[in-house]
Amino acid sequence: MRAISLVSVLAALPWLGSSSPTPTEPDRPSKRASLPTVTVSGNAFWQGKDRFYVRGVDYQPGGSSAMQDPLADKTICERDIAQFKKLGINTIRVYITDNSKNHDYCMNSLADAGIYVIIDANNPRYSINRFDPVSSYNSQYLQSVFATIDEFVKYDNTLAFFSGNEVVNDNAASTLSARYVKAVTRDMRQYIGSRGYRKVPVGYSAADVSQTRMQMAQYMNCGSDDERSDFFAFNDYSWCNSNFMTSGWDQKVKNFTGYGLPIFLSEYGCLTNGRDFGEVAALMSKQMTHVYSGGLMYEYAMEENGYGIAKIPGAKSPSVQEVDGFQKFADALAANPAPKGDGGFTSTTHALPCPTKDSEWLVDTDRLPTIPTNAKMYMSNGAGAGPGLDGEGSQSAPESGDDISGGDAEQGSGTVSSSASASSTKSAATSTPTNARSTGRVSMMLTLLAIVLAIATLL
């Protein structure tokens, strides 16, 4: 979430040396759904066979300090869903949810309104500390993350999970936490696969930091398939009532062309020079749809930083006051519907080379930390009851050695070996080499076992 605005300094460089592309097919949408599930294929999101664009808002009434889950309270979500319908959005992002509470009412009401939800799996109490990633990437944290997946994966209108929010910031030292953010992303994807859940896409929401934006993006899409994200999202406050060129968005489109995964803006909505939300027209235009899949306007609820479009007098007030910006944003969405057709997407996906270390990007290894031993059992047993938002949180949790990472992981360590139900088309299509390798290992072990047994019988 946003405290101050940054102006990006921009230059262009296309992706180099990517490995061979993998064609992917969208999963079939779930039939029971009141809303079809959204899937990822190539560098785009899909609603059945139609391209899906994120046209939404960031939604956290009270901000992060209130630590309030707006999807666990009927009064709150009913009030705001009425406003979402007026805006004509199709997605909200919620930063803080309580994994010990039930979300049936709000999630179903959102689905009835045609609205998907992107859930941040972390919250201020359960998150990676950017300057102490080693001890904050612990089993207590992962238990909370996995419990959040358990709670929201069951809703067809859960669009995606964020594995972290602005963990890496403009302080170069914070780039060392990127390995841990990427490890959590790997663990979440493995958890979803191991539990036999619907393949809800998992990705990271990066801060608006011009000096490491490209490295961060590259890093989240390098390495083995189990280590790569399903999409990438970043926050961008550079529009500032200008245009495609002046904002430098043309350069970013150039830079992200050929990235290999879907991309959307997890926050946009610069306040400088007033706000006509020209971002919407740009995001829905041919200039961007081959690379971007829409974005989320920051933000719905008015807080002290002044980005909101709805003033909420008290946490549980039954109504809100639309402020300047509300109607302008609704008008921008209405004037710029999601384009028909495939938007010029790329049907293949591929990994990128990992970024190299420099004075801004301090990560000097491509290897990720292993999952903490005490968190591994959640893959087979499930995470159990979520800790909710009370309690001491994971950053101050007492730790034994097995609660934190034991060292560097092998590539492929996050591959789903067996799952509670049949795996999806996507994972089957994209992880063939790794699967083939592990299948080979298993059959070799079975052969060895047979030989040992045969010898034992002879003796």
Element (H, E) at 59: none
Residue whose C-alpha is closest to residue 224's, from 56, 438, 386, 13:
438
Closer CB to ligand NAG, 12 or 335, in the complex: 12
Q: Specify the residue, 183 or 282, whose C-beta has the smaller distance to ligand NAG.
A: 282
**Smallest distance, Å, CB 219 to ligand NAG?**
12
Among left, alpha and beta (phi > 0; psi -120 to 50; other), residue 20 is beta
Of 244 and 329, the one with the shorter C-beta distance to ligand NAG is: 244
Length of the chain: 459
Measured CA angle at 258 (ends 255, 264), to 5 deg: 70
- Measured from the CB atom, the residue of 87 and 220 that comes closer to ligand NAG is 220
Residues that bind ligand NAG (CB under 6 A): 10-13, 210, 213-214, 248, 251-252, 255
Residue closest to ligand NAG, measured at CB: 10
Q: Which residues contact 117 (CB under 8 A, 6 or more apart)?
A: 71, 91, 92, 93, 94, 107, 110, 152, 155, 157, 158, 159
Pairing of strands 310-311, 321-322: antiparallel
195 vs 213 by CB, closer to ligand NAG:
213
Give me the catalytic one of 151, 166, 299, 303. 166
* C-alpha to C-alpha distances, 180 to 132, 366, 424, 449, nearest whole angstrom: 10, 12, 26, 37
Is 290 exposed, middle or buried (CB count within 10 Å of its CB: 0-12, 13-18, 19+)? Answer: middle
CA distance 370 to 183: 8
Instruction: Give the orientation angle of helix 178-194 with respect to helix 139-152, to 10 degrees.
Output: 50
399 classed as catalytic: no
Q: How far is the CB of 185 from ligand NAG (least distance, A)?
A: 21
d(CA 326, CA 103): 27
Closest approach of ligand NAG to the CB of residue 115, in Å = 31
The nearest distance, CB 10 to ligand NAG, in angstroms, is 3
CB 135, min distance to ligand NAG, A: 32
Q: What is the closest distance, in whole angstroms, from the C-beta atom of residue 220 to ligand NAG in the complex? A: 14
C-beta of 106 vs 209, nearer to ligand NAG? 209
For residue 142, the cross-strand partners are none
Q: How far is the CB of 258 from ligand NAG (least distance, A)?
A: 12
Task: Confirm whether 303 is a catalytic residue.
Answer: no
CB neighbour list of residue 24: distance below 8 Å, 6 or more residues apart: 40, 41, 42, 347, 348, 349, 426, 429, 430
Residue 68 or 210 having the CB closest to ligand NAG: 210
Determine which one of 151, 227, 267, 303 is catalytic. Answer: 267
Q: Which residues are catalytic?
A: 166, 267
